[in-house]
Amino acid sequence: MRKRWNKVCLAAAALIVAGAVCAAFGGGKAEGPAAGGLPQVELKMMIPGPPQKDQGLVNDALTKYLKDTLNVKLNIQQFDYGSWNDRSNLIVASGEPCDVMFSAAWTGFNTDAVKGAFVQLDDLLPKYGQDILKANYAWILDAGRINGKLYGIATYQELAQQRGFFLRKDLVDKYHFVVKPLNDVEDLEAMLKVIKENEPGMLPLFMEPGHLLSEMGPWDRQGRYETTAVDVYSGKPEYVNFYDNDFYRKSMALARKWFLAGYVNKDAATTQTMTFDMMKAGNTFACDAITNAGLQDSKWSTSWGVPIISFNTIKPIISTSLIQGALFAIPRQSKNPERAMMFINRMHFDKQLDNMIVYGIEGVHYVKKSDNVIGPPPGVQASSGLYNNVYWMMGNETLLYTYEDQDPRTPQLVDQFNQNAVRTPALGFTYDPSKMKSEIAALTNVSAQYDPGLSSGTVDGYADGLYNQFLDKLKAAGIDKLLADQNAQLSAWMKVNKK
């Protein structure tokens, strides 16, 4: 759904950009006092994602739009995903000018916050972030807290996560498979058997490391090889051994059964091939996926060129690490933290602001089809891009327009999906691993050695006592010590936060 525009139209479109910007926004630079006498300041915003060709033009348009409210000269700078971690580390280490910075659990938010890279927001939020505090999703703020202090403001996006599989809908229809709103993993087996027997050359199920059956449960777990987790469904604020439980053992046995039946690719434990490439090639029936109640079906159907239907296997869940998938922080070197906080606040309620950041300039980069539905400008195809920023980062996803080939109810569906998800009993808690670094490193190595083979079914966990050997090595590496430390911290946190 999140389309990029046709490259052959770039030159023609570029010719109208400057004129359209001037017509829409009056041209020129914002100068002097505005917004109730606030002097103009520059805000540098740094985010990951594909750099946009017209970013400078959009920055100028945003500056003009914000003059009467925030009076900031907005300078958005974007860096490819592959270079973002290095770039963000440099920003933190060097003190390079930056006022609004994307962060996330997967980019080191917790580590950066603990070492003082970000401004504490506990005083700034009540003064300059009152719209966030009034939002019906203000409960997500706890995910930005480390040791009780607020360092980041989470974006309201598809926060919940629902696991399952994507299936090719043409084959589902062909064989009259029944897909329910919520399915058991075992229900997929009969479908895989039919595909194996009737579709020569079609792989029934593609799996890759990091996308294996054992990970498809209701786990509050932050990393691929993290050896402990909270069972969200249990309602108990307690870390358990991720590998020593009935769910893992059942998943391990099922994976082995499917592997021996030839339903799964033989290199599932080691493959470097991505699910995206396999599904796009058109010779795979199913893949493990973040299904999210079908909210992603349209996007992946378009990307892969085949109709997709979601096969959901668990209820949607929300954990601290999932909410930490996108936050905005104010680096300690910011010279204007108050204005930065005002800007972050505005991204949570200003519909025009968010849509300009994501989609660019109306009439140049998109046209309105109705109040909340957009499409490409006349003569431009929606297959490749002139300007299309990262939609899931920017403040409040439910404020965004939808493309004409997407369900126009998507913003409302995203909100319903989040509000109805099962929340981890440890929501808002972030573990401090500083005392367990050596144990975590050792446990990670053990997990990487055994889990891929067991979870993919490549090896038999009960042959030669392999699974028991895995559990023994986890104990020797200190998993009980880690669990004790995690649960002690979580228990103390629960008492303070009255959960």
For residue range 340-385, list pLDDT tens digits in order. Answer: 999 999 999 999 999 999 999 999 889 999 888 998 888 776 555 5
Domain locations in the chain as residue ranges: 7-156+322-423, 162-197+273-315, 209-266+433-499
Residue 379's Cβ-count burial label (10 Å; 0-12, 13-18, 19+) is exposed
Given the DSSP bridges, would you call strands 422-423 and 228-231 parallel, antiparallel or unpaired?
unpaired
If one compares 416 and 298, the residue with the highest pLDDT of the two is 416
pLDDT at 302 over 90: no
What's residue 194's pLDDT?
A: 97
Helix/strand/coil for 42: strand
Number of Cβ within 10 Å of residue 412's Cβ equals 11
Q: In the predicted model, is pLDDT for residue 257 greater than 80?
A: yes
Highest mean pLDDT among 110-119, 195-204, 407-416, 421-430: 195-204
> Please, what is the average pLDDT of the chain?
87
Q: Which of 261, 316, 265 is nearest to 286 (CA)?
A: 265
Q: Which long-range contacts (CB under 8 A, 24 or more apart) does 29-37 make?
A: 29/60, 29/63, 29/73, 30/63, 30/64, 30/66, 30/67, 30/71, 30/73, 33/71, 34/67, 34/68, 34/71, 35/67, 35/68, 35/69, 35/70, 35/71
When pLDDT is averaged across residues 400-414 and rounded to a whole number, the result is: 84
What's the average model confidence in pLDDT over 202-216? 86
Q: At what angle do helices 466-477 and 479-497 cross, to 10 degrees?
A: 60
User: Could you tell me the pLDDT band of residue 463, with boundaries at 50, 70 and 90?
Assistant: confident
CB atoms within 10 A of CB 187: 14
Mean per-residue pLDDT for 206-220? 84
Q: Of residues 298 and 307, which shows the higher confidence score?
A: 307
Contact 230, 240 (CB under 8 A): yes
Q: Is the pLDDT of residue 452 over 70?
A: yes
Per-residue confidence at 433, pLDDT binned at 50, 70, 90?
A: confident
Q: Are 101 and 46 in contact (CB under 8 A)?
A: yes
Residue of 207, 215, 312, 308 lying closest to 266 (CA atoms): 207
Q: Is the pLDDT of residue 12 over 60?
A: no
Q: In the predicted model, is pLDDT for residue 20 greater than 60?
A: no
Q: Does residue 14 surpass a pLDDT of 50?
A: no
Task: Kindly report the length of the chain.
Answer: 499
- Above 90 in pLDDT, residue 231? yes
| Distant-in-sequence, close-in-space partners of 22: CB < 8 Å, separation ≥ 6 | none
Range from 109-118, 126-135, 244-253 carrying the lowest mean pLDDT:
109-118
pLDDT of residue 496: 86
CA distance 351 to 349: 6
424: amino acid identity, one letter = T
Task: Give the model's confidence band at 245: pLDDT under 50 very low, under 70 low, under 90 confident, else very high.
Answer: very high
Residue where the block lists tokens 């990487």: 448
Q: What percent of the chain has pLDDT over 70?
A: 90
Kindly tell me if the per-residue pLDDT of 44 is higher than 60. yes
pLDDT computed for residue 41 by the predictor = 96
Q: What is the pLDDT of residue 384?
A: 53
CATH architecture designation of domain 7-156+322-423:
3-Layer(aba) Sandwich (3.40)
> Higher confidence at residue 67 or residue 3?
67
Average pLDDT over residues 147-169: 92
Q: Is the pLDDT of residue 471 over 80?
A: yes
Place of tokens 């630079």: 29
| Residue 499 binned pLDDT confidence (cut-offs 50, 70, 90) | very low
- From 305, 300, 159, select the one nearest 220 (Cα to Cα): 159
For the record, the structure tokens of 300 come out as 């992946």
- Of 30-34, 72-76, 121-125, the one with minimum mean pLDDT is 30-34
H or E stretch covering 72 = strand 72-79
In degrees and rounded to multiples of 5, residue 161 shows phi and psi of -135, 135
Between 62 and 304, name the one with better pLDDT.
Answer: 62
Q: What is the pLDDT of residue 66?
A: 96
pLDDT range class, residue 291, cuts 50, 70, 90: confident
Residue 35's pLDDT is 61
Is the pLDDT assigned to residue 438 strictly greater than 50?
yes
- Residue 102 pLDDT grade (very low, low, confident, very high; cuts 50, 70, 90): very high
CA–CA separation, 4 vs 162, rounded Å? 27
Cβ neighbours of 385 (radius 10 Å) = 23
Instruction: Decide the pairing of beta strands 308-312 and 163-168.
Output: antiparallel
Is this structure's pTM higher than 0.85? no
| 200: helix, strand or coil | coil
- The residue type at 35: A
Give, for 472, the enclosing helix (H) or strand (E): helix 466-477
Phi first, then psi, for residue 169 (nearest 5°) are -70, -30
What confidence tier does 214 reach under pLDDT thresholds 50, 70, 90?
A: confident
